[in-house]
Amino acid sequence: MEHQSETPGTAAAHKVWFITGASRGFGRVWTEAALKRGDKVAATARKLESITDFKDRYGDNVLTLELDVTNADQVKTAVEQAYAHFGRLDVVLNNAGYSLVGTIEEAGADDIRALYETNIIGPVAVIQAALPLLRKQGGGHILGTSSGLGHVTLPVIGYYCSSKWAFEAIHESLAAEVAAFNIKVTIIEPGAYATEFGSQESLKFAAGLDIYTDFKAKFVDGLKNSERGDPEATPDAVFKIVDAENPPLRLFLGSNNLPWVRKAYAERLASWEEWQSVSSAAQGQSK
């Protein structure tokens, strides 16, 4: 069950964040915004040099840590180091991730495993490392950066979409499991934004098959022409979530996700209802 939304009140006291993937995209934007508003941040990235500028500009308010989320031991060490350094963790934000470009036929098992290691297993490692500390301090807020593609899919990036569907399910179950410990969970679901997510560092490409060349070219051209939001417009929405007494389980970022998802769910419901007689017949006799 989702948390009940309510209109957020005034901003809460300064918070301590743990953020993965802080070197670019939303991770950098939200790290910068949190520091600008006076919060403290443990900022992590695979390459420490990519986030050292935060330390230069924000001094003791930021702790920069090198972190590969696919290394479970390094994850545990980083989370515990951040907790020891600041004395608490109010917000744990899983933001690291990338997209695998390739059709379902093209992507190899190693490509898919690597994607899931970063997009699913890594965030789970962060959550599992943080939970004992959040319980110890009496609560906290876990945020996960998903996508509108956690509800609908696109071709050519189907495995990325699948990783976000799994990410959504894990966080929804988590929310029910940790509510009794005063630990809140929110899934942040951005639409298309003008971030570095489309850069070579955020994309990996499966080996291609000639039969899909034209299809993929048309798909990529379509993406180039899609409307993209301004990532700098997003921090206020994230702050409203972390400052809310009863934050929602899910929050779309951008204006296009809701119409898209509403249409997709309407089509699913219509299909299920059309085939309901067949589904009911498959129930058989009650045992």
What crossing angle do the helices spanning 158-178 and 122-137 adopt, rounded to 10°?
20
Tokens of 108: 């190899």
- Is residue 158 within 8 Å of residue 113, measured between CB atoms? no
Tell me the C-alpha distance between 166 and 116, whole Å: 9
Residues paired with residue 188 on neighbouring β-strands, in sequence order: 145, 251
End-to-end C-alpha distance for the chain, whole angstroms: 29
Helix or strand (DSSP H, E) at 186: strand 183-190
CA atoms within 13 A on the CB side of 180: 2
Which residues are designated catalytic?
146, 160, 164
User: Can you list the pairs that 6-14 forms with residues at least 24 positions away whose Cβ atoms lie under 8 Å?
Assistant: 6/244, 6/245, 6/246, 8/240, 8/241, 8/243, 8/244, 8/245, 9/243, 9/244, 9/245, 10/243, 11/37, 11/239, 11/243, 12/242, 12/243, 14/38, 14/39, 14/40
